[in-house]
Amino acid sequence: MIEMYLLEALAAVDECGTLSAAAEKLRISQPALSRSMKKLEGILNVELFERTKNRITLNETGRIAADYAGKILRSEKDMVQAVRSYDNSLHMLSVGYCAPGPMRIVPATLARCYPELMVTSGMYKEEVLARGLREDQFSMVILTHPLEEEGIVSHYLCSEHLYVSAPPDNELAKREKEGVYFREVDGQTFLQIAHVGIWDEIKARMIPHSRIILQEDQETLNAIINTSSLLAFASDISISTFRRKYTPGRVFVPLLDEEATVRFYCAMKKRTEKKLSRWIEAIVSEEE
Amino acid sequence: MIEMYLLEALAAVDECGTLSAAAEKLRISQPALSRSMKKLEGILNVELFERTKNRITLNETGRIAADYAGKILRSEKDMVQAVRSYDNSLHMLSVGYCAPGPMRIVPATLARCYPELMVTSGMYKEEVLARGLREDQFSMVILTHPLEEEGIVSHYLCSEHLYVSAPPDNELAKREKEGVYFREVDGQTFLQIAHVGIWDEIKARMIPHSRIILQEDQETLNAIINTSSLLAFASDISISTFRRKYTPGRVFVPLLDEEATVRFYCAMKKRTEKKLSRWIEAIVSEEE
DNA sequence: ATCACTTACGGGTGACGTAAAAATC
DNA sequence: GATTTTTACGTCACCCGTAAGTGAT
């Protein structure tokens, strides 16, 4: 049997042309490589090289052997790649989101159901998410609509409702109960966390005349909000998870347009649905 | 990099189901195999087995890995096979004949042109020869006609003319100069060496009423001929190469039918023609 | 008790590197 | 003289086998 290191050596010699160059590439000494090539010829019981005193060149047989060697080495690389990535798919769950809201709920509930699973999260545009799901870059994606495709199933996950966060001395604070329409605040300047996914498009449509000041860091943003008289945004999810706690002085006024409510659906392939069945059931029951 | 022995071990475990059985198959100890499987998992950084205290089973990842392993092992076998057989084709020349006459000429001339070449000879029916040439079982075949096919070239090689070998006291011996026709000897009993290829068919057609006593061994046949009053066969080739010497008392009477002369052609693939160019030129010049 | 796997320990093969020689450019 | 391959020799890694241990059937 020809061991892999011999095939690798042969491929390197084929590639480099000389033993010395190949030895350097392989990070072994040149005599070691010379021996390996002799050993390979011994195993095959075939001459692979034209040898002169200080020159060694692959002959036709050697080139054929080197081609096979290259092919086998690629197979081996493929194997390592495929096995590792399959194993990864068992231990990792890559989830893509179109908005930060569900990202505050899903990873936590997944971790509760499957403590052994490593969950990765990321936010992308919905087209990217759909394509990534098809191509197995994501195990699951969170969208604003069910994805109706062959082999893919979608489940309703949760909804998120948008609020305006107003300082207590602002006129709007009085409207905490009855709410406000987008058009009433269009033109105002808002503070907002960066990267809110789908909400960017909604705000661009509904309050086109507003300026929105973005802040990358959530803690910094909270600090600014607490000392600022500017309006900001919140949602039922963000309020319940941290806004109430970290921007305690603020009044949250619900937006009354239907565009201020988004329904989220999780979409995944059938085989993932099977793997996540416990979580899906839990989500469905929480929803009731 | 995963060495081949690890892949072989994995494939054996996959095949045998238990480490002990696989170890026996591989002719190594069971602890050694246990270690190898651990090493493989270490290299891949992946679990390949479900392990209980006294049971080890491939998990899904392991089955995927084992499939790859089998594939790579087959590739390696293919490589050895292909390289050896290519090398063989450089050093061996397998020639198939339809008659023994050319077999007395061709191997000797080939050996003179290419002393480094190992030449193998064998006699077969012409259909078998044509197929064998196509499928590379023969490097060259000797036929009674040129082979007109894509990628195959044919050259005229030599002709062979049939004689009747008669004891000096036989009536026929007087006809040494003028010759004799097949029909004149049809019905007579002949002594003949076994395995004369194409000549069997010619004789079956031209002297259907004759009995032909076959003898496997040439030396034995010569001895019988020298002490027998039966007729026998000879040809210009056999006469010049050994009949004159080993059956010295005999008179050789030429057969006058055109069927008694056969022209031989060597057929080979284009690449073989290139390899044998020196020999082909020599044959052509001898022919002139 | 037997079977199947793992752990522990010692041994030998063989792959490696260094050094030096031979030969070509 | 520089480069390339081969030969020689000592070293060390690692793969193996034996023996012992653990747990399940």
Q: What is the pTM of this model?
A: 0.72
Question: Across A194-270, where does the E strand assignment appear?
Answer: 211-215, 231-235, 251-254, 261-269
Tell me the average pLDDT across A254-278.
95
Question: Which positions on chain D have an atom < 7 Å from some protein CB?
Answer: 3-8, 15-20, 22-24
Closest Cβ–Cβ partner in A60, A72, A83 for B75: A72
pLDDT higher than 90, residue B223: yes
pLDDT higher than 70, residue B287: no
CA pair distance A244, A237, nearest whole angstrom: 11
Residue contact B1–A1, C-beta within 8 A = no
How much is the pLDDT for A286? 63
SS3 at position B225: helix
SS3 at position B265: strand
DSSP designation for B162? E
Q: A86: which chain B residues are within 8 Å (Cβ-Cβ)?
A: 60-61, 64
Tell me the average pLDDT across B192-206.
96
Please give the residue that has the higher pLDDT: either B54 or A32: A32
pLDDT higher than 80, residue B118: yes
CA pair distance B58, B56, nearest whole angstrom: 7
DSSP designation for B196? -
**Contact between residue B96 and residue B142 where contact means Cβ atoms under 8 Å apart:** yes
How much is the pLDDT for A241? 93
- Asked if residue B19 keeps its beta carbon closer than 7 A to nucleic acid strand C, the reply is yes
**Contact between residue A41 and residue A33 where contact means Cβ atoms under 8 Å apart:** no
Helix axes B106-113, B277-287, angle to 10 degrees: 130
Q: B84: which chain A residues are within 8 Å (Cβ-Cβ)?
A: 44-46
Residue contact B83–A4, C-beta within 8 A = no
- Cα–Cα separations (whole angstroms), residue B140 to B72, B121, B122, B152: 35, 10, 11, 10
pLDDT higher than 70, residue A288: no
Tell me the average pLDDT across A164-188.
95
Tell me the average pLDDT across A191-210.
96
Q: A84: which chain B residues are within 8 Å (Cβ-Cβ)?
A: 44-46
How much is the pLDDT for B89? 85
Chain B residues within 8 angstroms (CB to CB) of chain A: 1-5, 8, 43-47, 60-61, 64-65, 68-69, 71-72, 75-76, 78-80, 82-84, 86-87, 90
How much is the pLDDT for A285? 67
Nearest alpha-carbon partner for A181 in A285, A259, A269, A69: A259
Q: Considering chain B, what is the average pLDDT of its residues?
A: 94
pLDDT category, A178, cuts 50, 70, 90? very high
Tell me the average pLDDT across B215-240.
95
SS3 at position B232: strand
How much is the pLDDT for A174? 93
CA pair distance B33, B78, nearest whole angstrom: 25
* d(CA B76, C1' D19) / Å: 36
Cβ within 8 Å of residue B60, ≥6 positions away: A86, A90
Q: Considering chain A, what is the average pLDDT of its residues?
A: 94
Question: Taking the C1' atom of D18, which residue's CA lies nearest?
Answer: B29
pLDDT higher than 80, residue A287: no
Question: Which positions on chain C have an atom < 7 Å from some protein CB?
Answer: 3-8, 15-20, 22-25
Residue contact A83–B75, C-beta within 8 A = no
